[in-house]
Amino acid sequence: MVSVNRVILAGNLASDPQLKETSNGKTLTTFPVAVNKQWRSQDGEKHKETAYFRIVVWNATAETCARYLKKGGAVLVEGRLQTRSYKNSDGQTQYITQVVGDQVTFLNKPSASRSSQDEEPAIM
């Protein structure tokens, strides 16, 4: 049986990345990516729809994304879908589906405020 779990998204950060550390010392960063879809209906009316995806990256990629990415920045994320569950404060099981990114490409140029020593990596 063949199975593939691969996602490729290109969009803009809906908020600044959040850097965290797990209890066992691993680094993770989460950030939402907004992906827009635009089309015209048969009567010529323009439509726009935005989908938001929660992205999680780990270790060195997490640190780099937290350092360089900002709200509004354009990224291309490659990874896999993961669904996990947790108990909320009422004891009910909640499910969340997220993209676990293994490669993040920064699509914006570095801002002028960065020093010449800080070079933005294109791919992590």
Question: HEC states along 16-63?
Answer: CCEEEECCCCCEEEEEEEEEEEEEECCCCCEEEEEEEEEEEEEHHHHH
Q: How confident is the model at residue 109 (pLDDT cuts 50, 70, 90)?
A: confident
**Would you tell me which CATH number, out of the four given (3.40.50.720, 3.30.930.10, 3.60.15.10, 2.40.50.140), belongs to the domain 7-106?**
2.40.50.140
Q: Residue 113: its pLDDT value, please? A: 46
Residue pLDDT, tens place only, 29-76: 999 999 999 999 999 999 999 999 999 999 999 999 999 999 999 999
Q: Residue 23: its pLDDT value, please? A: 95
H or E element at residue 67: helix 59-68
- What is the 8-class DSSP label of residue 123? B
Residue 118 has pLDDT above 60, yes or no: no
